[in-house]
Amino acid sequence: MTALWRIFRLILREQPTALWRGAALSCVVLLMGAALLGLSGWFITAAAAAGLAGMGAVFDVFRPSAMVRFLALGRAAARYGERVLTHDATLRALESLRVRLLAGLVVAPYPRMLRIRGAQALNRLTADIDVLDGVALRLVLPVMAGLMTQALVFAVIWALIGGAVALWILAGYVLGGAVIFVQATRKTARLSRRAEAAAQAFRSRLIDLIRGRRDLAVQGRLLAQSDFALEADRRRRALQGQQDHAERLTGAALQMLGTLIAGGTLWLGITMVQAGNLAPSLAALGFFTTLALAETIAPLRRAASDLGRMAEAARRVSRDIAVPLPTTAPAAATGGPLQIQAVALQRPLSKIPVLNGLSFEARSGEAVALTGPSGSGKSTLLLSIAGLHPVAAGRITLDGLPISDWDEPSLRSVVALLPQRSALMSGTVADTLRLAAPNSDDETLWQVLEAVQLVEVLQARAGLNTAIGAGGEGLSGGEARRLVLARVLLRRPQVLLLDEPTEGLDEATARAVLAGMRRFLPDAAVVIAAHRLVEASFADRTVSLI
């Protein structure tokens, strides 16, 4: 519930005026509904009593009938306004939540990033945020409006009819509704969480099936993966059916509660009328008002059904949502050295040590190659220099300031990392490059493409307008690698970290690319996780991690 409350506070903070107006209109709708039905019952009963008493000719039918029309039209208008205000405010707030969630995923700790697959991140941004629209619309606002309406009607019924009827209505709806809601959520919360987990699994498997359909077909696993996704869909449908059944039972219980309270109110009214303590028209007013108040507990049916999935989605979103970045930043980089001082490292998601007591420095314009067998910690060290992996001992400094003390924007402005696996999205070559430097002109883009030896390849196609698919589809492995390297070079970092920068390239092309990189960034300190001799020979010196 803490996560749910946090999400509601975020929504309220984004759209406070619209939500408070919508909440007020929700109360108006419920109060007008209770007044409309109660007045109608009083009007019919009073008119009948006047007719039986021979006073029908002098009974004022105009003002009550006008009030009935006013309440009916006013209730419709208030309902329309409430829907417009609350839904518009919620959708705008969810838009902001999506942006903050995406920002949180972007700056999440590197081990956390490793655990978030593409389909899972997409589910966070779509399914989880969509579920959270019910926090305000189906949970908090209806419950608040229902309680306020019950309190106001309690005061009116107490004044017009009596304390016994008022207490019966209030206790019946509030306590009875609470008991049904709690009992329902004990079952539906678990079911809704399982149903949502099954839906998430189905989406992930379907996305994996679509994205990997070619590789799956080549491996003869396309039908197996399809059956795998269909199995998740069958499980999702089965759980959804169980959840719908539990929701219908909750709705039936709430309807029975409303009928029981209305019956009790009718019995109390008849008893008071027979005792001469109450007019029949006021007894009718209490009975019909009680029927109308069933609307205050009707939203509990949907709220109980969705509470589990809303709580689970709120927990995940609250964990990943962006927090405000520090407002203080270190001074701009002055070209000081990158220093590795007695650093010890452990593997990501593990306590197994890979490095211990490593020290070296990389100055401006110098290239340092890290050598050693696979698993010796080269990639992990690059992650630590980039501030994406903590050091177990020692420290890493840039310009004399520990990497951990740099704020995120300043660090990213001076340090850039090319990991072993980089993402390419659908678009043109120009779009891909301008992700790193949005204001770059075409001349600059051609310069960086010349540095990575891609000019001839792209001029033979559509130049900067050459289209590429998701994951670099349409490019060879070496071409995709060089395009990613060009994107990193456009950041013009002070410290450039490269992990297997010449993967997929022949030796001559690899030498040309490394030389072009140095021409493009002559003053950058370059640290390379060298897996090939051509990379080690490019460096000014090597550091062995054995």
DSSP three-state, residue 369: strand
**Averaged pLDDT, groups of 10, the chain, 546 residues long:** 81 84 90 91 83 67 87 92 87 82 72 63 72 84 92 93 93 94 87 82 84 83 89 91 90 94 94 90 92 92 85 79 51 68 78 82 89 83 86 86 84 88 83 87 90 87 84 80 90 90 86 91 90 87 85
Give the pLDDT confidence score for residue 19 in this predicted structure.
Answer: 85
Report DSSP letters for 79-107, one per residue.
Answer: HHHHHHHHHHHHHHHHHHHHHHHHHHHHT
445 phi and psi angles, rounded to 5 deg: -65, -40
Position 119 scores a pLDDT of 58
Helix (H) or strand (E) holding 313: helix 299-320
> Do residues 520 and 447 lie in contact, with contact meaning Cβ atoms separated by under 8 Å?
yes
Predicted pLDDT at 42: 87
Q: Which domains does the chain have, with CATH numbers?
A: 2-320 (1.20.1560.10), 338-544 (3.40.50.300)
What is the sign of the dihedral through the CA atoms of 39, 40, 46 and 50? Answer: positive
Is the pTM here over 0.85, yes or no? no
How many C-beta neighbours within 10 Å does residue 216 have? 17
For residue 32, give the nearest of 70, 69, 71 by alpha carbon.
Answer: 71
* Phi, psi (rounded to 5 degrees) for 393: -155, 165
What pLDDT is stored for residue 393 in this prediction?
Answer: 85
If one counts every other C-beta atom within 10 angstroms of the C-beta of residue 426, the result is 14
Name the pairing type of β-strands 401-402 and 415-418: unpaired
DSSP β-bridge partners for residue 341: 395
Q: Are 379 and 538 in contact (CB under 8 A)?
A: no
Amino acid at 448: V
Q: What pLDDT score does 489 carry?
A: 92
Q: Please, are residues 3 and 11 in contact by the beta-carbon 8 Å criterion?
A: no
Nearest-angstrom CA–CA distance, 533 and 540: 13
* pLDDT of amino acid 325: 46
